[in-house]
Amino acid sequence: MPTYQFEAMDETGKPIKSSVKASNSDDAIARIRSKGLFPTSVREEKLKRSRSGSDSASPAGSTRRVAKKKSGGSKLSEISIGGVSKKQLTAFTRQFSTLQDAGLPILRSLQILEQQQKPGPFKNILRQVHEDVASGLTLSDSMSKHPKAFDKLYFKMIAAGEVGGVLDQILQRLAEFMEKAAKLKKRIIGAMIYPAVVIGVATVIVVGIMIMIVPKFEQIFSDFDTELPKITMVLVNTSSWIGGGLEGQIVPGWVWLICSPLFIFIFLKLGRKSTAGAKAIDRGSLFLPVAGKIISRSTIARFTRTLGTLIRAGVPILDALTITRETTGNAVFANALNRVYQSVQQGNSFAQPLGEAKVCDTMVVNMIDVGEETGELDGMLLRVADNYDEEVDVLVQSLTSLLEPIMVCSLGLIVGFIVIALFMPLVTLIQGVQ
């Protein structure tokens, strides 16, 4: 009867390595489980080769070679392309929190969650985290080795939960934090989809009119040899530019219209590479009508919720400020938090440098000041985040309501301009015929 080497975990999550004799791999797994163990790896023990170089038992040797081919195939199937989405990470955090609250060991929880994942990057990362924890690393250290899946905020909170012995509570707060952040982002993106679709369709229609309809009218006008009004000349020249018919024009105008969003995106990305450029772009975005308020309120909600969650999790205030500064997403607010960091480091107030930076409303500064005095800074920060989440929701709805009449008026002006520009020469021609 062949011998199988296995790795397993006991009920406490302690890794165990041993061997068992069984007729096949399924029988080996059944025997391991009958001992109250959870097998993680089962493989047939390799037989020693004789001095002549041949296997001491050819059937076992053939079995071993087949196993190698199968394992090689599984490794190939694990190779995948793509990243770890926030939705995946949020669902994992919520499930991990539930398993820890139920009292399961960390290794067993990781194993269950890894098995539930579809083949891809996240499944491979969870397998590596499980192996690192089984080898003796802490969960936070294991997660810190995969920054593309677990950012600094994530594994710092996990570390605080491990130190305080409240990992289940930390995971629950982390899941709530991620769900609220995702809900806010989804709300803003959802509100922008309708205007973006309307503007895109309207642009395509107007470009089609300029390329296919206006040149036909221009041909009619040229056949009658009549002097065109200025408004019609503007329309004809615009049509020629869009269609690429102007003298010396290399790139048609419709290409610029289609590629302009991409050019703006690249410009903003390159501009944010430098500190000065990032500050200029972020500061300018705060002064946009309506949208500037949404950006400001959402940034305040993000950094107050992040900071409040970290402080409540037991992360030291200076470490929490550093993480919040790096994840705020806005250079102006990051600079303000840097002032706060320096003030707290010197033993001074939190609220005063934040108020001097003039990036937050007076109400926010006063609530943080009260939180410092009463020792409820984390609670105050989370209340500010909740209030500003509601304000962002109202502002997004207001922006959507404002964009609809603006788009209707803009489309009306464009269509009216085209109709007037095309019919004015026709009226002149009719009068001449009469």
Distances, alpha carbon 174 to alpha carbons 191, 306, 357, in Å? 26, 10, 29
Token pair recorded at residue 114: 């890894």
Work out the pLDDT band at 70, boundaries 50, 70, 90.
very low
Work out the pLDDT band at 180, boundaries 50, 70, 90.
confident
**What are the structural domains of the chain?**
3-78 (no CATH), 86-150 (no CATH), 177-434 (1.20.81.30)
30 vs 65, more confident: 30
pLDDT at position 59, please? 39
Q: How many CB atoms neighbour CB 397 within 10 A? A: 12
Token pair recorded at residue 189: 């993106």
* Mean pLDDT value of segment 254-279: 83
* Mean pLDDT value of segment 408-425: 88
Q: Position 128: which residue type?
A: Q
Average pLDDT over the chain, rounded to whole? 79
112 vs 327, more confident: 112
- Out of 52-66, 129-143, 336-350, pick the least confident: 52-66
pLDDT digit string, tens, across residues 76-115: 333 334 467 888 888 888 888 888 888 888 888 888 888 8
Burial class (CB in 10 A: 0-12, 13-18, 19+), 303: buried
pLDDT at position 178, please? 83
pLDDT digit string, tens, across residues 275-324: 788 888 888 888 888 778 888 888 888 888 888 888 887 778 888 888 88
Q: Which candidate, 281, 298, 321, 327, places its Cα nearest to that of 391?
A: 298
CB 134, CB 118: distance < 8 Å:
no
pTM: 0.62
Work out the pLDDT band at 400, boundaries 50, 70, 90.
confident
* Mean pLDDT value of segment 104-129: 87
Sheet strand arrangement including 15-21: 15-21, 3-9, 38-44
b vs e for 253-290, b when ≥16 Cβ sit within 10 Å of the residue's Cβ? Answer: bbeeeeeeeeeeeeeeeeeeeeeeebbebbeebbeeee
Alpha-carbon gap, residue 235 to 423, rounded angstroms? 12
* Mean pLDDT value of segment 358-370: 86
Q: Is the pLDDT of residue 336 over 70?
A: yes
pLDDT digit string, tens, across residues 228-239: 788 888 888 888
The contacts of residue 304 (CB under 8 Å, 6+ apart) are 364, 381, 382, 384, 385, 388
* Mean pLDDT value of segment 360-378: 86
Work out the pLDDT band at 362, boundaries 50, 70, 90.
confident
pLDDT at position 432, please? 66
pLDDT at position 52, please? 39
